[in-house]
A and B are shown apart, each in its own frame.
Chain A
């Protein structure tokens, strides 16, 4: 590996460390009070002091997000296939879906609480509701954009709609589908944290809210760091999954061969 390549590999870490160094220095130089902007060292101290609650609650948030996300994948895939299957269904459902997607999902939390009470279930459902839409749209788009000539080639051979879906539609939809998972998991995470902050006794969202009430500012920031790390980890997992599953769409074999 030459020097530039090494530098590029290291640079995300260098920039992250640099950010914390500048932050720490700024807090000390400008004498910013801890209750306004705590320095990274204070946040680190909060991690040590509250390791138990942080670990427990971040685990809950992660679970909430993943369950909501799994529901969104199942439902989104199914609805996407249905919507992409027929133009009539597409035309009928599209305005409904747009309308539903336009509703800020935080506005649904009170209704979910009314139905299911405060806690885990509204958070899972918020994560689900906020994240299925991009999956539906991507799957349906993949199906709807089959080249008409290719469809003609197969139809002329007597292929049924199901044949065309199996041989062409679904495989060509996979890159769209896996691409949408990155977006969906990020949204699911947003959904579960929103719901936790508004209507739950658990999770990082709730922990941050309580820390705020008790004016434990370093702990609030520790919560933010946990969210950032979890968010990056989930996004990265989906990006890796996408690369694994749809190598042909990225022509990566070509570049590496």
Chain B
């Protein structure tokens, strides 16, 4: 399995990477961990002549917590995400999602930036990032911008990123103590398996009632899908089994799964219901403080 002729360009920094991408246009692509791109090049699913290597850029693989904001560099490996103390403490759903992915070897290579930019419908990180309202910070020859992740995905393997635009960092506000977030994935094996369905759910509870909820479905539509009706059904409800199961039922109807080798459409629909309920239950269990009483 040989890759057709390519030329590698080592980017000194992100600005340099962007200008290399601009210079070589459609024949160029950025390489992070390579676990998607090299596989695609080998299978001739992607053909690029110029490969812009991001791996040597310093400082892009750090996870920081600054003023209540989690900042995750685009080159942070899936293994670091899975193991990071900061992420485990403040956004355990994201380290859970990372640890369900691929294999130890691929997690050591693959990056968060690559997973998000690749925009595969079954990708494991996007649902949780959407439920957590992440922001994608990018650089390009025309400057930097902040993209709310809800506006990022436009189709299977399609995003709003420009051809010479690269992700620098992903930012997430640390969720408040009266909230919880969870990711549940169904896979055919516990290793090296893509999601048949993945569901991320977040909950905010005030005065014993749900004041905000967001359910995001992965692998059941061309892009990660916010189950709007199911999420709305929870507002004002008590966070209990009944409310969660009901939301699951509604979510089943919102997904638009296809049948493929990993599962039939019908099977996926059933999974959405079960995983939604389980994700909500876990999210609820992660709420740390007693619900705050309003002063008046």
Q: Do A and B come from one complex?
A: no
Residues of B within 8 A of A (CB): none
